[in-house]
A and B are shown apart, each in its own frame.
Chain A
Amino acid sequence: MSGAILDLSKEAMPDGFSAEVCVIGSGSGGATAARLMAEAGHEVVVLEEGRDLVGPERTQRDAPMYDQLYMDRGGRASHDLSVSVLQGRVLGGGGVINTCDVVPIPDGVLQHWAVKYGLEDYAPERFKPFTEDALADLSASRIPESLVNLANAKLRQGADALGLRGEVMLHNRVGCRGLGTCLIGCPIHAKRNPRMVALPKAIEAGARIFTRARAVKVQNASQELKEIEVRALDPGGYHEQNELKIRAKIVIIAANAVSSAQLLLRSGIGNAHVGKNLMLQPQLPIIGIFDERIAAFDGIPQSYAVTAFEQEDNHEFGLWGFRIEGIMGTPGIVSSLLPFSGAPGMEGMAQYDRMAPSLLLAPDAPSGRVEVARDGRLTIRYEQRDNHRERLRQAVEAAAKVYLEAGAREVLVPTVPALVIRSAREAKQARELRFAAATAPMLSAHQQGTVRFAASERDGGADLNGQVYGTRDVYVFDSSGFPSSASSHTMTPIIASSRMLTSKLLTRI
Chain B
Amino acid sequence: MATANEERERDGLFSFLSRRRFLKLSLVAGGTILGVGGAGVLALRGRAPKVEGLQVLDAHEYQTLQRLVVVMLPQTAAIPVDAAAMDLPRAFDDFLANEPEHNVEDLKKALVLIELGPLVFEKKLTTFSRLSAADRAEHWNAWAVSDNLLRRQVSIAMRKFFNLVYFDHEQVWPHIGYPGPSMKRTKGVTP
Contact = CB atoms under 8 A, between A and B. Distances in A.
B6 A81 contact: no
Contacts of B14: 72, 75
A273 B30 CA distance: 41
A381 to B, nearest CB: 10
Interface size class of A (residues with CB under 8 A): 35 or more
B5 A376 contact: yes
B72 A342 contact: yes
Contacts of A354: 177
B11 to A, nearest CB: 5
A170 B98 CA distance: 39
Interface in B143-191: 144-145, 149, 152-153, 155-157, 159-160, 163-168, 172-173, 175-178, 181-183, 186, 189-191
B132 interface: no
Interface string A331-364: 1111110110111011101111110000000000
Contacts of B160: 75, 336
A439 interface: yes
B13 A81 contact: yes
Which residue, A54, A61, A77, has most C-beta atoms of chain B within 10 A?
A77
A187 interface: yes
B79 A349 contact: yes
A249 interface: no
Contacts of B29: none
Contacts of B76: 343, 346-347, 350
Contact of B152 (A73, A347, A439): A439
Contacts of B156: 81, 438
B42 interface: no
A62 B181 contact: no
Given A60-B181, A179-B182, A297-B178, A342 B79 contact: no
A321 to B, nearest CB: 28
Contacts of A12: none
Which residue, A242, A339, A354, has most C-beta atoms of chain B within 10 A?
A339
Contacts of A189: 191
Interface string A355-378: 000000000000000000101111
B71 interface: yes
Contacts of B10: 71-72, 76, 377-378
Interface string B47-87: 00000000000000000000000011110101100000000
Given A341-B144, A342-B74, A378 B11 contact: yes
Nearest to A378: B11
Contacts, number: 189
Contacts of B38: none
Contacts of B166: 332, 335
A240 B7 CA distance: 8
Interface residues of B, number: 57
Contacts of B9: 216, 262, 376-378
Nearest to B7: A240
Interface stretch (A25-33, A138-146, A231-239, A499-507): A231-239
Contact of B11 (A188, A379, A416): A379
Contacts of A75: 12-14, 160
A332 to B, nearest CB: 4
Nearest to A293: B177
A81 B21 CA distance: 14
B153 to A, nearest CB: 5
Contacts of A231: 2, 6
Nearest to A216: B6
Interface in A202-243: 216, 231, 236, 238-243
A347 B78 contact: yes
A378 to B, nearest CB: 5
Nearest to A238: B98
A401 to B, nearest CB: 26
A379 B144 CA distance: 23
B181 A59 contact: yes
Given A61-B168, A238-B98, A332-B165, A341 B159 contact: yes
Given A350-B79, A352-B177, A342 B186 contact: no
Nearest to B146: A416
A56 B191 contact: yes
A353 B191 contact: no
B16 A179 contact: no
Given A188-B190, A347-B76, A380-B11, A353 B176 contact: yes
Contacts of B186: 177, 179
Contacts of A376: 5-6, 8-9
Contacts of A331: 167-168, 172-173, 176, 178
B102 A377 contact: yes
Given A61-B181, A416-B145, A332 B168 contact: yes
B173 A180 contact: no
Given A238-B98, A331-B173, A347-B78, A352 B13 contact: no
Given A342-B72, A346-B74, A373-B8, 7 more contacts: A188-B189, A236-B98, A297-B182, A342-B74, A350-B79, A352-B176, A437-B152
Interface of B: 1-2, 5-16, 71-74, 76, 78-79, 95, 98-99, 102, 137, 140-141, 144-145, 149, 152-153, 155-157, 159-160, 163-168, 172-173, 175-178, 181-183, 186, 189-191
10 contacts: A61-B181, A77-B12, A177-B189, A180-B182, A216-B6, A236-B98, A331-B168, A342-B141, A346-B73, A346-B74
Interface of A: 54-56, 59-63, 66, 71-77, 79-81, 84-85, 177-181, 187-189, 216, 231, 236, 238-243, 262, 293, 295, 297-298, 330-336, 338-339, 341-343, 345-347, 349-354, 373, 375-380, 416-417, 437-439
- 10 closest A-B pairs by beta carbon, nearest first, are A353-B177, A75-B13, A60-B181, A350-B78, A240-B2, A352-B176, A331-B167, A238-B98, A55-B191, A332-B164
